[in-house]
Structure 1
Amino acid sequence: MDPLQELETAEALGFTLPTPAYLIGAVFFGLIGFAAFRMGRKQERTRAIWIGVVLMLYPYLVWQTWLLYAVGALLCAGLWIERRY
C-alpha cells in the first residue's frame, strides 16, 4: 500500500498528525516541566515537583494546540507564583 494512501485512510478514520506548533509547544513545556521537577527535588519544594510532573505529562492529554499553550502558560504562571511566594 502506498504511504500517502495509508495516511489518507488514517485521516478518514479520524487520526491526524500533530502540527509543528503543537510539537514545539509539547517539547517546550516538557523541558520546562523537567527543569521544574529537578529544581523542586533539589530545593525540596513539593508544589514545584508536582507542577513539573504535570507540565511534562499534560501534552499527552491535550490535543488542541491553543489549549496546549493556554494550559502551559497557566502552569508556568503557577510555577512562577510558587517560586516567588
Structure 2
Amino acid sequence: MNEEALLTELIAMLPSPTYIVISIVFGVIGLMCFQAGRKVNKPRLKWGGLALMFYPYLIGNDTRLLILVGLALCALLYFWRKS
C-alpha cells in the first residue's frame, strides 16, 4: 500500500468537524448538569451529566446517532431535574 492511499484512509477515519462541535456542546451541558447535581445532591442529575459528557466516546463517527442519543439524554435529564 502506498503512502497516499494510507493517508487517504487515515483521513477518512477522522470525525467530522460537526461531530466534534456537537460533542463539545453536549459535553458542556453534561458538565453543567454534573455540577448542579453535585451542588444540590441529586445523584440522578449528577450521573446523567457524567453520561452526557462521556457517551460520545462510545459512539463511532455517526453524527446522527450522536445527536439522537444526546437529545435523549438531555430529555431524560430535563425530566429528572425535579425528582
Residue of structure 1 equivalent to 2:7: 7
Equivalent-residue separation in structure 2 for 1:77 and 1:46 (angstroms): 16
Structure 1: which 5+ runs fail to align? none
Per-residue deviation at 1:84? 3.4
Q: Which runs of 4+ in 1 moved over 3 A?
A: none
> Are 1:48 and 2:49 an aligned pair?
no
Q: CA separation in 2, counterparts of 1:75 and 1:27? A: 15
Provide the TM-score with structure 2 as the length reference: 0.86
* Secondary structure class of the residue paired with 1:84: coil
Matched residues, number? 79
Q: What RMSD in Å do the two structures reach over aligned CA positions?
A: 1.7
- Structure 1: how far apart are the matches of 2:59 and 2:8? 23
**Which blocks of at least 5 consecutive residues in structure 2 are unaligned?**
none
Q: 1:70 and 1:9 mapped to 2: Cα distance?
A: 27
Relative to the length of structure 1, the TM-score reads: 0.84
CA–CA separation in structure 2 for the residues paired with 1:73 and 1:57: 14
Identity of aligned residues (%): 41
